[in-house]
Structure 1
């Protein structure tokens, strides 16, 4: 089966364990959200997948082959890194042309069309780009690479609301026309929830959750009301977490709502709030 397989992956940096026995898969033709707070190991994982960083233990397979020192396999992937590794003195259009030489399926026409859509000046040098336009430039190169696996590390860094919305639309449009595996690494959960199909949550170097977005959001519900009414209702139920504000209380509950009093309001789980509660470092989570 065509997929990225990560097996028992551990990465240590001196006294810091960035990844701790991570095992998961990214199947073909799906959009994944690799979700986690800053510094929890997302970027390390993407760099190990693309053989830019070596693991302390474990291995990565792409379509059944090891990625380590395997140029053929590495050519199936393109990583948009959060950091800039392009020569800063080069101009945007020069890097488009340069990438076209190394990636045979690179869509040069689309790269210039997208640059025009985002109002990215292709004659600008990389070092002259703002943080937002540097993200746009790197995202365009990645998306137009037309590799089988596209990995985007914090692709909306520095983008304003309009550009973020446009980038998500471009991702979905290109995916619809040419399905592939896209992994979006981000800590901006609310925005990406309408784009992704599968969720992987990483916390403190470990996989906290891997499931479809639909399954996660349908696995429970939110109950809202006066504190006393909510407490009475959730007594004995499988409660993920609660939060209070003023005299009101929210409870995130696993399962399906049953016999809910009229004094309480029921709503769907909110992915962003669920993520915050799951990654708040309480014991047992």
Structure 2
């Protein structure tokens, strides 16, 4: 039920490989995190899965069927993306009804309940929504779709801390009641870790890690500080993620943390 397979998938834009020979198996009814920096290849991978773009080579299967130009397979997936897909003059209530036309299992009662919890005014037009409330509308559509596979690409864009917490809480509550395959693409690794069952890390278009989150947390650690000192520390170590803000840097290192490493840090 709902097995997703990437088999040696590559996407090239001229000389640039946005996705490089990616092979991956996603078992059904789990919550996956697709993690990496902006531009790492996460969105490329999801766009290929959902037919927004096509691979240069390789194949992607859903229950042993190709996903490419396969409407029946694509109807099993709901992709929440940053793209503006809805007419700007449409009211939120109309967007809900419109989505139900494409996803017959769409739970209108649940969508309206979520709108109330997030204080989303259903009478508002799409064009009047802030970035945060545009994300909230899309989150609600995804969670209420009841599609077997739900895909979130940077789902908390523009959300404040309270709304992010509410999203994670509602997502887990819904998953516990109605298990689905959920893929969450984000660069906010620390924030999302408690929600995930398995983590997939992508770097420069290559899949570098796929592990249960519990195992990953035991096998990796984060170091942060002045960028020059962090660069010196991580030299010759397996870095699976790093972020820089001004002169500060944080890096996630894939190795067991021991007393010697603590002294070096």
Write the distance in 2 (CA, Å) between the matches of 1:204 and 1:221: 21
Asked whether the 8 Å contact 1:29–1:181 carries over to 2, the reply is: yes
Q: Does the C-alpha gap of structure 1 residues 124 and 61 become closer, same or farther in structure 2, counting only changes over 3 Å?
A: same
Q: Does the C-alpha gap of structure 1 residues 46 and 253 become closer, same or farther in structure 2, counting only changes over 3 Å?
A: closer
Task: Specify the alignment match of 1:158 in structure 2.
Answer: 158
Residue 49, structure 1, aligned to residue 42, structure 2: no
Asked whether the 8 Å contact 1:2–1:64 carries over to 2, the reply is: no
Write the distance in 2 (CA, Å) between the matches of 1:154 and 1:115: 20
Asked whether the 8 Å contact 1:5–1:62 carries over to 2, the reply is: yes
Asked whether the 8 Å contact 1:222–1:252 carries over to 2, the reply is: yes
Q: Does the C-alpha gap of structure 1 residues 240 and 48 become closer, same or farther in structure 2, counting only changes over 3 Å?
A: closer
Write the distance in 2 (CA, Å) between the matches of 1:151 and 1:98: 19
Q: Secondary structure at the match of 1:194?
A: helix
Segments of structure 1 that go 5 or more residues without pairing to the other structure are 224-237, 242-249, 266-285
Asked whether the 8 Å contact 2:220–2:252 carries over to 1, the reply is: no
Task: Specify the alignment match of 1:277 in structure 2.
Answer: none
Q: Does the C-alpha gap of structure 1 residues 217 and 121 become closer, same or farther in structure 2, counting only changes over 3 Å?
A: same
Asked whether the 8 Å contact 2:8–2:23 carries over to 1, the reply is: yes
Task: Specify the alignment match of 2:24 in structure 1.
Answer: 24
Q: Secondary structure at the match of 1:7?
A: strand
Task: Specify the alignment match of 2:243 in structure 1.
Answer: none
Q: Secondary structure at the match of 1:152?
A: strand
Runs of 4+ in 1 over 6 A off after TM superposition: none
Q: Secondary structure at the match of 1:23?
A: strand
Deviation at 1:207, TM superposition (A): 0.2
Q: Secondary structure at the match of 1:193?
A: helix
Residue 254, structure 1, aligned to residue 244, structure 2: no
Q: Could you give the per-residue CA deviations for residues 190-214 of structure 1, whole angstroms, max 9, x where no partner exists?
A: 1101111100011111101111101
Q: Does the C-alpha gap of structure 1 residues 134 and 254 become closer, same or farther in structure 2, counting only changes over 3 Å?
A: same
Write the distance in 1 (CA, Å) between the matches of 2:253 and 2:97: 50
Deviation at 1:254, TM superposition (A): 3.0
Task: Specify the alignment match of 2:79 in structure 1.
Answer: 79
Deviation at 1:14, TM superposition (A): 2.7
Write the distance in 1 (CA, Å) between the matches of 2:113 and 2:222: 43
Question: Higher mean Cα deviation, 72-81 or 83-92?
Answer: 83-92
Asked whether the 8 Å contact 2:2–2:148 carries over to 1, the reply is: no
Deviation at 1:253, TM superposition (A): 7.4
Task: Specify the alignment match of 1:192 in structure 2.
Answer: 192
Q: Could you give the per-residue CA deviations for residues 117-173 of structure 1, whole angstroms, max 9, x where no partner exists?
A: 000111111111100000000011011110110000000000000000000111101
Write the distance in 2 (CA, Å) between the matches of 1:217 and 1:251: 10
- TM-score, length of structure 1 as denominator length: 0.79
Q: How many pairs align? A: 242
Residue 101, structure 1, aligned to residue 96, structure 2: no
Deviation at 1:220, TM superposition (A): 5.1
Write the distance in 1 (CA, Å) between the matches of 2:82 and 2:48: 14
Q: Does the C-alpha gap of structure 1 residues 146 and 159 become closer, same or farther in structure 2, counting only changes over 3 Å?
A: same
Task: Specify the alignment match of 1:232 in structure 2.
Answer: none
Deviation at 1:218, TM superposition (A): 1.5
Q: Could you give the per-residue CA deviations for residues 54-97 of structure 1, whole angstroms, max 9, x where no partner exists?
A: 11111110111111111111111000012221111111110100
Write the distance in 1 (CA, Å) between the matches of 2:115 and 2:67: 32
- TM-score, length of structure 2 as denominator length: 0.84
Segments of structure 2 that go 5 or more residues without pairing to the other structure are 224-235, 240-250
